[in-house]
Amino acid sequence: MQRIRELLSRDFPAVRVAPCEAAIADLEIAPAHPAVGPLLVQVNPDEITFFIGNHTHCHFDVEEEEDDALEFLAALLGDRLVVWSGLLAGGVRERRPRRRPRLPWVREFLWSGPYRRDAADSRG
């Protein structure tokens, strides 16, 4: 948890962090946009779990993937990842051009808000 707090204060000082009132998580990061929802961070002895609004969640093994978890958090808050959710599924993908059209029931978000493909995405 200490490394997560250090990353947030060093690289994302504008992010509002609070102790989580929900029993499921240790830390709550206020949403940058209401459509995305808050980011809940749960750290237990074996695993770090990020719950991204009501869209999806991601797990990282503490012993083997702590650095990956920090990279994921930095990429998410830095708008380098797209969070998607649809009927009964959700996930996270890199921000890059998609080869297939988006399905009408799938919503996509960056941490900053609804995802709209832009010139940065067309560069690959």
Q: What is the pLDDT of residues 73-104, one digit of tens each?
A: 999 999 999 998 887 788 889 887 666 556 66
Give yes or no for a contact between 89 and 107, defined as CB atoms under 8 angstroms apart: no
- At 27, is the secondary structure helix, strand, or coil? strand
Here the tokens at position 60 are 């990282």
Q: What is the pLDDT of residues 7-48, one digit of tens each?
A: 999 999 999 887 777 667 788 999 888 888 999 999 988 999
Q: How far apart, in whole angstroms, are the C-alpha atoms of residue 45 and residue 2?
A: 13
What is the residue range of 74's domain?
Answer: 2-122
Confidence at residue 6, expressed as pLDDT on a 0 to 100 scale: 92
Confidence at residue 29, expressed as pLDDT on a 0 to 100 scale: 92
pLDDT at 124 over 50: no
**pTM attached to this predicted model:** 0.83
Number of domains in the chain: 1
113 forms bridges with which residues in the sheet?
A: 110
